[in-house]
Each structure stands twice: as structure tokens, then as C-alpha cells.
Amino acid sequence: MPEHVIEIVDLCKSLGGKQVLNRLCLQVRRGETFVIIGRSGTGKSVTLKHIIGLMKPDSGTCTVFGTEMGKATRAEAETVRRRIGYLFQSGALLASMNVEDNVALPLREIERMPEDQVLRTVREKLDLVDLDKVELKMPSELSGGMRKRVGLARAISRNPELVLYDEPTSGLDPIGTAAIDELILSMKKKLKVTQIVVTHDMASARRIADRIGLLYDGRIYFTGTPADLDETTDVVVHQFVHGEVAGPMTEKSGETKRYRRQRPPTPPPAPPTPHPAPAPEKQDFPPPA
Amino acid sequence: MIFRYANQMVASIEGIGHTLILLTRTLLWIPWLWRKRAETVAQMATCAFGGFPVAMIVGMFSGMVLALQSGYTLQKWGQEELIAIVVPASMVREMGPVMTGFILAGLVGSTMAAEVGTMNVSEEIEALEVMSINPVYFLALPRIVALALVAPLLTIYVDLIGIFGGAFVGDRILNLSYTTYMKHTLDTLELKDIYSGLLKALVFGTLISSVGVSQGMRARGGAEGVGKATMRTVVISFVYILIFDYILTWMVYQ
């Protein structure tokens, strides 16, 4: 039986009076790429923040590398975080530092590495994310895709065993999205890391996932391989995968009704117009004798 | 209406609590300050160079107005020489540290709130936590120490400029020579006046930076949240400066 890096059991979390996660259960195996899909605001990022220990559960447990993050002391949580890389949606690069300093930050501040080793590691990680000659650039000088690559280089700078990606392809064009997908695949191949990717981009999810979990109604509603996702007859999964406006997901949140109300009323069918009497066939040639 | 005031009251108490906790945690990180020496010096330079030009104008005109107001009143009894006692004492004990505090709150405190607030809303602070870098050590420590050290230096500068402003008014308008003014000044000022002023400046600098960083760390909701944090920093700092000015004066001179 494969070893589980992450085990979440009955995780509940309310934010601003809204039940975001409701008895969520999830297990992620070592070495797999698990993609969490779901509509915006369903708690995908909240789940990641519980895994990294930035949020504490209201109830339930979230165990990462054998440490229960909800009950861990700051020191214990930091020990676990050193084994995790996290790519933020925006990249979350420190705007006051150049690319090199951003990637080197955990190496200098936490690992206290000698400077020559820091620079060598930074170069190596930037190579891994296919970036060249950007060390001295400021984050404001980079495109969205490049910022995410630098964010990824920083996330993997300490050779983590687990990498979490929060919407890695949002805001990118299709080519940029494919490039980030390739990077995620290459991370698995080259670094043998376990990866959790949060996204609502179905094409991207199919490309990179070993398993996909659909987050719906505060819990993982469906888990399976990309092939399972396509074969299932479940209406909820079907609606999300095919991006249909009407369906159980939107009906429950009341969006379908709104959608229907907002649609302009269908005009009554126009009265049938009488067809003009067919003109007698014109004979250009005299009938044969 | 009552609920609104009650909510504001709770938010204010929460803010005071957050600032105090932040300040305490920052003090606990002081032994590791040597690791942040470069950032602390950089922050000191930013605070000082940002504040010097405004401090010069504020110091100069504070001293001149003090001399003019007290000079005209004292002139009625032929005691205009006393401005050489009134101006330096007022500048060193009160006007210098308080004016410096106001300048630093408006210039540096607000900048700190905006800077840290922007980092907060753009997930940079969360990114630090994810990397196991303590935001108090990384952001608050160099800023709070830098402003705590710069505030007394800037106060000395404002004091000197203010005293010179008083001497200038005495010489040009009240027929009091520079030599007489300086002699009275040196005879009157006590060591207690100087250290109480510098102590106030140290406290004000610490408070302003703590409020700025704390408000920045609590900023929510994008640019609007950062703007509110900046505004609150200035208002809260002004209130703290006046309250602590009274408390420190009472403690030193009772």
C-alpha cells in the first residue's frame, strides 16, 4: 500500500460565517500529482493553506509528513514547511528584491548557506524552470508567466518533497499555460516530488494529473484518474468538466435561476406571413412542336 | 448606531493589542538584530533622509514662532531676553520630540504601513511564512529598531534648528544678540531636559513604527485596505504621541 504524504480527515472550516470546508477527507500518495479542481470560492486555496499550516481547522485533522498541522507548534510547523514548496497564484515575489534575491531568500535566511553555494543553487533552480539571464531583473519587469516560474524556482530552492501549486496557470495565455504544465510534469520527473495542484483549468488538469479530486459542497466529491473523470456519469462532475451553466452546481447556489431571470424574454413567435402565389413558370422557349 | 460605536471600540482595542504583541515579539528578536544589520541601516537611512528636509523647515519655524510670540509678550515688561530661556527649554523638552514625532508619523509611519500593507495584500507576507521566515524578524525588527534610533537623532537636529530660529528672531526683531541668547541658553538647559526629550523621541519612534507595521500587517482588501491602514497609522500615531508625551513628562518631572 503506498505511503500517504497527506491525510486530511473530516476537515471543517468556516470563514466569515460561511462553511467553506465541510468534513473534507483527502489522502495524497507519495510521488503522485494530485489535482484539486472546483469552482472559484469552493475552498481549494483554503485546503492548501491548511496543508501548509497557514490556517488552523475548526475541527478535523490535517496530517502532513506525520505531523498534525492544526496542533503543531510554530517550530514543528516550520520543520514541516521546510519540506514543502508553495507556488502562489501571483508568484508572491518580494517586489523590493530582484529575482536572484527572491530565489535565494530561504537559502540565506533559513539554510544559512555560504554565498557561493547560494548563487550556484539559484542558477541551478532558474535553469530547471527554463529561465536565463533574469537574475538581476525586478519582479515588476517580468511577465506573469515568468513571475510564476521565478516563484516556482523559489518554491523548489530547498529541494522540497512536496510542492503545492495555487492556480499556477491562471491569467496565462494557452502557450504559457502549456509551458507551466510542462514544468509541473518535469518537476515530477526530475525531482520525484509529490505535487498538489489547485486549478479550474480542465485541460491543464488532464495533462498533469495522476489523480483528480473535485471539490464541491465543502468536500472532495469525486476522486479518480483523468480517464475516470471523462467516463463518469455523475451529473455534478459532468457539469463542471463540460462547463455547463445549468446543472446541480449552479442550481444549488441559485445561479441558474438568476441566469434564467437575467435572460431577455423570448419574443413571441411572429405570425406566419402568407406566401405569395407562385408565379407562373416563365417559358423562355416555345414548347416543342 | 450603538453597535457601530461598539464595533469601532472593539476594533480599536484589537488594534492596540496587535501593536503591543508585535512590539513584544520584536523585542524578543533583538538578540538576532545583527543578522538584520544591513536592512536596519538601510531603513535608518531612508527614515533620516526622508525626514531631514521637512524637519529643518518645521524646526526652524517652530523656534521662530515661539520666539516671536513669547518675545512680543515679554517685551511689554522689558523681559525679551527671557526668550533665550523659553525657546530652548520648550524646544528641547516638548516641541522638538513632538514635532519630530508628527513628522515621522506622517512621513515614515505612513510609508511603513503602505509598504507592509501592500506586501500583505499581495501575499508576500504569507510567502515569508511559507518559507519559515518569521515576518516579525524579517519586516518589523529592522523597521522598528531603525525608527527608534533615528527619532532621537532627528530630534537633536530639530532642537538645534529651532533654537537657532529663536536666536534669529531675537537678533532681527527683539534686539537680542546671538551671544547673549546662546549664553542664556547654555546656562538654562539642564541635562534632564535633554535626556527627557530624547527619551520621548525614542518612545515616539518605537510607537510610530510599531503602529505602521502593525496596521500594514492587518491591512485587508487590496488598495483600499492599504489606504485605510496608512490613514489609521497617522491618526493613531498622533494620538499616541500626545498621550505618551503627557505620561513621560509626568514621569520625568514629577
Q: Which residues of B touch A (CB under 8 A)?
A: 118-119, 122-124, 126-127, 129-133, 138
A18 phi, psi to nearest 5 deg: -105, 130
DSSP symbol at A278:
P
Q: Residue A74: pLDDT band by 50, 70, 90 thresholds?
A: confident
What confidence tens digit (pLDDT) does each residue in B229-246 have?
Answer: 999 999 999 999 999 999
Closest residue in A to B122 (Cα) is A92
Phi, psi (degrees; rounded to nearest 5) at B24: -65, -45
Question: How far apart (Å, rounded) are the C-alpha atoms in residues B133 and A34?
Answer: 27
Q: What is the pLDDT of residue B37?
A: 94
Reduced to 3 states (helix: H, G, I; strand: E, B; else coil), residue A205 is helix
Q: What is the 3-state secondary structure (H, E, C) of A242-273?
A: HCCCCCHHHHHHCHHHHHHHHCCCCCCCCCCC
B207 vs B204: CA distance, rounded Å: 5
| Complex confidence, ipTM | 0.81
Scanning every residue of chain B, which has its alpha carbon at the shortest distance from the alpha carbon of A160?
B131
Instruction: Identify the helix (H) or strand (E) that includes residue A65.
Output: none
Question: Is there a contact between B124 and A94 if contact means CB atoms under 8 Å apart?
Answer: yes
> Which range, of A27-36, A175-184, B38-47, B107-116, averages the lowest pLDDT?
A175-184
- Classify the C-alpha dihedral A86-A91-A92-A96 as positive or negative: positive
Q: Looking at the predicted structure, is the pLDDT value of residue A1 above 60?
A: no
In words, the CATH class of domain A4-83+160-260 is alpha beta
Give yes or no for residue B32 having a pLDDT over 80. yes
Give pLDDT, residue A262: 46
**pLDDT tens figures, A179-209:** 889 888 988 888 889 999 999 888 899 999 9
Please give, one letter per residue, the 3-state secondary structure of chain B.
CHHHHHHHHHHHHHHHHHHHHHHHHHHHCHHHHHHHHHHHHHHHHHHHHHHHHHHHHHHHHHHHHHHHHHHHHHHCCCCHHHHHHHHHHHHHHHHHHHHHHHHHHHHHHHHHHHHHHHHHHCCHHHHHHHCCCCHHHHHHHHHHHHHHHHHHHHHHHHHHHHHHHHHHHHHHCCCCCHHHHHHHHHHHCCHHHHHHHHHHHHHHHHHHHHHHHHHHHCCCCHHHHHHHHHHHHHHHHHHHHHHHHHHHHHHHHC
Query: Could A109 and B131 be called an inter-chain contact, meaning their C-beta atoms sit closer than 8 Å?
Result: yes
> Shortest CB distance from B129 goes to which of A54, A82, A154?
A54
Mean per-residue pLDDT, B182-211: 93
Task: Report the candidate in B106, B204, B218, B110 with the shortest Cα–Cα distance to residue B155.
Answer: B204
Q: Is the predicted pLDDT of residue A53 greater than 80, yes or no?
A: yes
Task: Please answer yes or no on whether B122 and A90 come within 8 Å at the CB atom.
Answer: yes
CA-CA distances (angstroms) from residue B199 to B43, B212, B245? 21, 20, 10
Chain B residues touching residue A92 (CB < 8 angstroms): 122-124, 126-127
CB–CB of B215/B113 below 8 Å?
Answer: yes
Give me the pLDDT at residue A103, please.
95
Contacts of A110 (CB under 8 A, 6+ apart): A82, A158, B131, B132, B133
What's the whole-number mean pLDDT along residues B98-120?
95
Task: Please state the domain extents for chain A.
Answer: 4-83+160-260
Using CA atoms, how far apart are residues B219 and B227, in angstroms rounded to an integer?
9
Q: For residue range A99-129, what is the model confidence (pLDDT) as tens digits? A: 999 999 999 998 899 999 999 999 999 988 8
Chain B closest-CA separation from residue A91 CA (Å): 9
Question: Residue B70: what pLDDT?
Answer: 92
What is the predicted pLDDT for the residue at B75? 86
Check pLDDT > 80 for residue B1: no
* Secondary structure class of A50 (helix, strand, coil): helix
Q: Rounded CA gap, B39 and B140, in Å?
A: 11
| Residues of chain B contacting residue A78, judged by C-beta atoms under 8 Å apart | 132
pLDDT of the residue at B8: 83
Does the beta-carbon distance from A88 to B129 stay under 8 Å?
A: no
Q: Which residues of B81-107 are buried (b: 16+ CB within 10 A; e: fewer)?
A: bbbbbbbbbbbbbbbbbbbbbbbbbbb
Tell me the per-residue pLDDT of A251-270, one tens digit each, with 9 for 90 and over. 766 665 544 444 445 555 65
pLDDT at A93 over 80: yes
The order of strands in the sheet holding A18-29 is A18-29, A4-15, A59-64, A67-68
Arithmetic mean of pLDDT, A220-240:
87
Are residues A25 and A39 in contact, defined by beta-carbon separation less than 8 angstroms? no
pLDDT for A276: 53
Mean pLDDT across B190-199:
92
Q: Are A165 and A148 in contact (CB under 8 A)?
A: no
